[in-house]
Structure formats: structure tokens, C-alpha cells
Amino acid sequence: ASAPAAPAAVATAAELTATGLRGLFVGRYRRRTLMVCALWFTGYFVNYGITSWLPTIYQGEYGLSLSDALVYSTVTSSAGLLGCLIVALTVDRAGRRKVVAVFLGGAAAVLLTLAVLGAHTPLQVLIWTSLSAVFFFGSNICLYLYTPELYPTRMRALGSSVGGALNRLGVILGPVLVGMVYASGSISLV
């Protein structure tokens, strides 16, 4: 038998009337909004930072032809779709918060392991980046489900839009910063 659910915290008067952009930073919504911004930004920064540069890394560091580099990169992106499917099949049973946490933790663990061990062959890069893509594509797709539950109905669209705006910032900055690091010769940091 499961334990009874904890009672919901009583909303303050300011939280009950919070609207607009300022409302996202009132009371309990401030922490939620900052978390949403961090999750959306980092999730898409990593996603696009890695996947955008994979073909170049495969060619420049491992000597693959352009066509082989694109095939390897497509395998990684396809693995990410598997992560999205896993989320779709488990999120309603397991819960959005838990799925986001597990998938973000999985992505971090895989990428940290890759950073520590390194990859010395294109196949190793393919395996590590594909495994990480399962996790970060999965966590990113779940953010579309999780973010709206953090806000009352009157603030859901705005809260989700702020997350989406930070997503776009991550999409822009991820490839730029990864490209700068790669261009500096620091492939191990990529």
C-alpha cells in the first residue's frame, strides 16, 4: 500500500492573484520558473550543441567521410527518438517529475562518463552519444508535459512560453559555444 499523499500547500494571496511575467516570480512560482528556465536551456543547449557538431567531429577527429559522418549522426538522432518513445510509454505511469529526473540524471551520467573515459574511435563516439541522446531527447520531450503542471491554468501558457524561449536560447548558444570550444582544439571538452 502506498502512503497517503501529502496535503497541498496553501497558496498565498499573492500567488492566487499572480498573473503575467511578474506572476511567474511570485512565491512558489519563482523557484519553479527558475527551474523551468534552467531545464529548458540546458536540455536544448546540450542537445543542439552535441548533435550539430557530430558530423564535423566525426570528419575532423576520426577521418570519416562526410556520408559516413552523416550516417553516424543520424544513428545518434534516431537513438534520441527511442528516448522519446520510452518517455511516451512510461510517463503516465511513472509521473512526469520522476521521468524528467531519471532521464536528466541518465544524460548527465552518460556524458560525464564519456568526459572521464574519452572516446578513441568513431564507434565509441557513436555508442556514447547515442546513449546520451536517448536520455536528453527523452528528458526534453518530457519538459513539454511537465512544465504546464507547475503553474495554475491562468499562467500555464506563459510559463511554458518562457521555458520555450530559454529552449531557443539554448538552441542558439549550444552550437556556437561548442563550436568555439572545438575550434580551440579542446575536443575532450566537447
On whether residue 102 sits in a domain, the answer given is yes
On whether residue 5 sits in a domain, the answer given is no
Report, as ranges of residue numbers, the positions in the chain whose pLDDT lies below 70.
Answer: 1-11, 13-18, 187-190
CB neighbours of residue 118 within 10 Å: 12
Q: Of 39, 53, 40, 38, nearest to 190 (Cα)?
A: 53
On whether residue 82 sits in a domain, the answer given is yes
**Max CA distance (Å), the chain:** 62
Domain tally, the chain: 1
pTM for the structure as a whole: 0.84
Element (H, E) at 15: helix 13-17
On whether residue 162 sits in a domain, the answer given is yes
In tens, the pLDDT along 133-169 reads 999 999 999 999 999 999 998 889 999 999 999 999 9
In tens, the pLDDT along 99-115 reads 999 999 999 999 999 98
Which grid coordinates are listed for 183? 575550434
Q: What is the CATH number of the domain that holds 128?
A: 1.20.1250.20
| Domain encompassing residue 47 | 21-189
